[in-house]
């Protein structure tokens, strides 16, 4: 069995290398099938591993060391993989959702000239992501972490002819880089404390109490910053909406289903470490709550279909962080899984829809699409219901319900017992659930119902429809493996993770509240946008608050003012090289002065020598005149001299 682990990474990696090497020489279909085949093989491997895990009597984690990376006395790191239930869930999600998205992309990207580049990057991404989730050493995890970052950058800037896309790619890269740096700081801090970044060693050191509370808080804080940047949480949320500049399959795979959940995975993986730092935990949950609320509000006023989905991704990731912060990492992981299903479904459906509408992304230019594309309507409805968490029939309901009910009973050791932070967070999460349902059904009512507005052409190819059908199925029924106690005692997921939730007695009204919020959202969305004469006639830029919210609350402008402009100023300074100017100026001044001095000296010398010459000349003339050869004059001079001598003798 263990040999399947390297194979899992090997297939996508080999395919990526193959595709990059043969770029431009294979037909688009071949390229697509090679990539999809590789991911399919990976998916088969992961399913095999999952079966092995499920049916073995005593499922033990699989450890495999590929090679030793570095070994010194103080520190050691290996390229090593571990398969435990947490990473098994992740590899299943990555490979199966990845496979479906690749399958979809074969047709979707068929016409693109850079298809080999696209599929090469996608498979490389899957390989990096698998390294990330399988790594048993945090340094090895960091390789995957950086790998998915670079693939994300490559794919956002896929249509690099448009400067807007490359700017979006750069933005995503920079923002996540800030987090990466913080994460590296955290890793190094841990490494200096424990001497190894092997997760098991780390946890053993933690349990032995050898990590001081200050170091622990600092390290987890750094790791949290890394996770926040990767998962586009406040204050790093601005890159994700812009990342929608990439092709839709990329948005589905990287910026919805898998890569952005790397932060969740990291914290879930190290949950024991984080639990020991209550301050960071509280911070995580508060940031998660704020993000989910803010992103839901922003999604409510967007007009671009893909941007609505992007903000909704941020909002859902906020739920996961909230769950992580309250200590229920199982719920976060469960929501991660269901979110991967329904968000991939939503993105792929939106992509198919946009492709058939001649790349129209504004939802207000769409309308009445259920008549022309009933299949896509059903798929989108399935995804939207799961996102909203409509009770009982969707996977989103179960995962969100798990989060909501566990937040209620969460407690924060740092706060006095009377302060109801858990209840406040629960209220925010519930309002968020209501808003989620409101914005996604606003989208549905505007896009699929209402009056017919745009011409659509063609039909969705079968190759694209199959993944949509699979994902619809998963979105609707992927959640039944874990149910609240009130409904049915099914706990397959937590049992599989061997980490059952601490089941306090959950009041029935908690479940009812969680179930009724999405329904209320749907009803209000129908009232506002669903009827033949909608109550809300949105004109773009209607009110200042909507305009501000649409731009993501001006955070972009704030960052531009706080960071980009000063940096540009620095760049300007260095480009114009003020110091160089100064030195050049001084040099020029010195040169000017010296040339002035030289000029002056030359003039002085010329003048003085000229004068001297003139003087000498006149003296010469005078003397020449004196020596005129006339005897009488000589005699006169003699007399004059005599007189002078006598006078000087006489006059004292």
Interaction with other proteins in 69-88: which residues (CB under 8 A)? Answer: none
Exactly one of 532, 630, 649, 652 binds other proteins (CB under 8 A); that residue is 630
Stretch touching other proteins by CB under 8 A, among 103-111, 329-337, 548-556, 633-641: 633-641
Q: How far apart are CA 194 and CA 5, in angstroms?
A: 27
Q: How far apart are CA 427 and CA 407, in angstroms?
A: 10
Q: 351-370 burial, b for 16+ CB within 10 Å, e for fewer?
A: bbbbbbbeebbebeebbebb
**639 touches other proteins by CB under 8 A:** yes
Whether 4 and 41 have beta carbons less than 8 Å apart is answered as no
**625 touches other proteins by CB under 8 A:** no
**359 touches other proteins by CB under 8 A:** no
Exactly one of 492, 579, 590, 636 binds other proteins (CB under 8 A); that residue is 636
Q: 128-137 burial, b for 16+ CB within 10 Å, e for fewer?
A: bbbbbbbbbb
**57 touches other proteins by CB under 8 A:** no
**462 touches other proteins by CB under 8 A:** no
Give, in order, the Cα–Cα distances in Å from 485 to each of 334, 405, 488, 502, 507: 16, 11, 5, 12, 10
Identify the DSSP state of 24: T
3-state helix, strand, coil in the chain (%, to 5): 75, 5, 20
CB half-sphere exposure, 477, CA atoms < 13 A: 4
* Minimum distance from residue 638 beta carbon to other proteins (Å): 10
**650 touches other proteins by CB under 8 A:** no
Q: Which is nearer to other proteins, 539 or 650 (CB)?
A: 650
Q: How many residues bind other proteins (CB under 8 A)?
A: 8
Stretch touching other proteins by CB under 8 A, among 51-59, 157-165, 232-240, 630-638: 630-638
Q: Which is nearer to other proteins, 578 or 635 (CB)?
A: 635
**631 touches other proteins by CB under 8 A:** yes
Q: Which is nearer to other proteins, 66 or 644 (CB)?
A: 644
Stretch touching other proteins by CB under 8 A, among 9-17, 235-243, 274-282, 623-631: 623-631
Q: Which is nearer to other proteins, 489 or 649 (CB)?
A: 649
Q: Which is nearer to other proteins, 498 or 627 (CB)?
A: 627
Whether 320 and 261 have beta carbons less than 8 Å apart is answered as yes
**635 touches other proteins by CB under 8 A:** yes
* Minimum distance from residue 637 beta carbon to other proteins (Å): 10
Radius of gyration of the chain (CA): 38
DSSP H/E element including 68: strand 62-71
**629 touches other proteins by CB under 8 A:** yes
DSSP, collapsed to helix, strand or coil, labels residue 78 as strand
Q: Is the bond leading into 479 cis (omega within 30 degrees of zero)?
A: no
**Strand partners for 77:** 70
* Minimum distance from residue 630 beta carbon to other proteins (Å): 5
Give, in order, the Cα–Cα distances in Å from 113 to each of 19, 303, 508: 14, 30, 56
Q: How far apart are CA 635 and CA 362, in angstroms?
A: 123
Stretch touching other proteins by CB under 8 A, among 283-291, 398-406, 447-455, 632-640: 632-640
Stretch touching other proteins by CB under 8 A, among 14-22, 232-240, 489-497, 634-642: 634-642
* Minimum distance from residue 639 beta carbon to other proteins (Å): 6
DSSP, collapsed to helix, strand or coil, labels residue 373 as coil
DSSP H/E element including 281: helix 278-301
Q: Which is nearer to other proteins, 527 or 626 (CB)?
A: 626
**628 touches other proteins by CB under 8 A:** yes
Task: Convert residues 91-120 into a mask of x (bound to other proteins by CB under 8 A) and - (unbound).
Answer: ------------------------------
What does the binding site for other proteins look like in residue numbers (CB under 8 A)? Answer: 628-632, 635-636, 639
């Amino acid at each position: 069995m263990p040999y399947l682990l390297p194979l899992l990474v090997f297939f996508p990696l080999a395919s990526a290398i193959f595709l990059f090497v043969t770029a431009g020489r294979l037909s688009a279909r071949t390229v697509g099938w090679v990539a999809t085949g590789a991911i399919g093989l990976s998916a088969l491997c992961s399913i095999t591993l999952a079966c092995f895990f499920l049916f073995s009597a005593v499922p033990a984690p699989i450890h495999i060391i590929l090679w030793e990376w570095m070994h010194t006395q103080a520190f050691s790191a290996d390229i090593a993989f571990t398969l435990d239930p947490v990473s098994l869930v992740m590899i299943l999600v990555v490979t199966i959702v990845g496979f479906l998205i690749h399958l979809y992309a074969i047709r979707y990207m068929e016409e693109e000239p850079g298809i080999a580049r696209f599929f090469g990057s996608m498979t490389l991404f899957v390989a990096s992501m698998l390294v990330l989730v399988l790594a048993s050493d945090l340094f090895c995890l960091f390789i995957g972490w950086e790998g998915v970052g670079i693939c994300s950058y490559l794919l956002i800037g896929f249509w690099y002819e448009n400067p807007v896309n490359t700017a979006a790619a750069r933005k995503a890269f920079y923002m996540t880089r800030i987090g990466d740096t913080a994460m590296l700081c955290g890793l190094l801090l841990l490494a200096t404390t424990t001497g190894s970044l092997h997760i098991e060693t780390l946890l053993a050191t933690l349990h032995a109490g050898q990590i001081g509370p200050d170091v622990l808080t600092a390290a987890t804080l750094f790791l949290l910053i890394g996770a926040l940047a990767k998962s586009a949480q406040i204050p790093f949320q601005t890159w994700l909406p812009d990342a929608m500049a990439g092709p839709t399959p990329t948005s589905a795979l990287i910026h919805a289903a898998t890569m952005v959940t790397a932060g969740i995975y990291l914290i879930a993986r190290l949950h024991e470490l984080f639990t020991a730092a209550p301050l960071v935990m509280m911070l995580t949950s508060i940031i998660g709550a704020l993000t989910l609320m803010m992103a839901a509000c922003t999604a409510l006023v967007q007009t671009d279909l893909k941007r609505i989905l992007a903000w909704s991704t941020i909002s859902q990731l906020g739920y996961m962080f909230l769950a992580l912060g309250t200590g229920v990492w199982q719920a976060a992981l469960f929501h991660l899984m269901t979110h991967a299903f329904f968000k991939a479904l939503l993105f792929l459906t939106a992509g198919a829809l946009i492709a058939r509408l001649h790349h129209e992304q504004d939802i207000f230019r769409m309308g009445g699409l259920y008549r022309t594309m009933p299949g896509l309507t059903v798929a989108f409805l399935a995804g939207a219901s799961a996102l909203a968490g409509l009770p009982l029939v969707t996977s989103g309901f179960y995962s969100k319900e798990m989060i909501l009910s566990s937040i209620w009973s969460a407690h924060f050791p740092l706060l006095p017992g009377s302060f109801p932070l858990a209840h406040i967070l629960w209220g925010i999460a519930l309002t968020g659930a209501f808003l989620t349902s409101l914005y996604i059904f606003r989208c549905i009512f505007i896009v699929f119902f209402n009056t017919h507005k745009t011409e659509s052409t063609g039909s969705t190819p079968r190759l694209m429809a199959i993944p949509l059908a699979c994902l619809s199925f998963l979105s609707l029924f992927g959640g039944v493996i874990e149910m609240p106690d009130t409904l049915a005692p099914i706990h397959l997921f937590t049992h599989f993770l061997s980490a059952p939730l601490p089941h306090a007695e959950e009041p029935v009204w908690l479940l009812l509240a969680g179930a009724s919020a999405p329904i209320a959202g749907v009803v209000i969305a129908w009232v506002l946008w669903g009827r033949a004469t909608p109550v809300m006639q949105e004109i773009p830029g209607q009110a200042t608050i909507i305009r501000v919210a649409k731009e993501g609350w001006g955070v972009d402008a704030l960052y531009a003012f706080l960071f980009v402009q000063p940096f540009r100023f620095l760049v300007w300074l260095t480009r114009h090289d003020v110091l160089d100017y100064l030195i050049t100026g001084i040099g020029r001044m010195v040169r000017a002065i010296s040339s002035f001095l030289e000029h002056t000296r030359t003039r002085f010398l010329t003048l003085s020598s000229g004068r001297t010459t003139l003087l000498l000349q006149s003296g010469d003339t005078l003397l020449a005149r004196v020596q005129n050869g006339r005897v009488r004059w000589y005699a006169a001079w003699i007399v004059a001299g005599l007189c002078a001598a006598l006078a000087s003798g006489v006059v004292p």
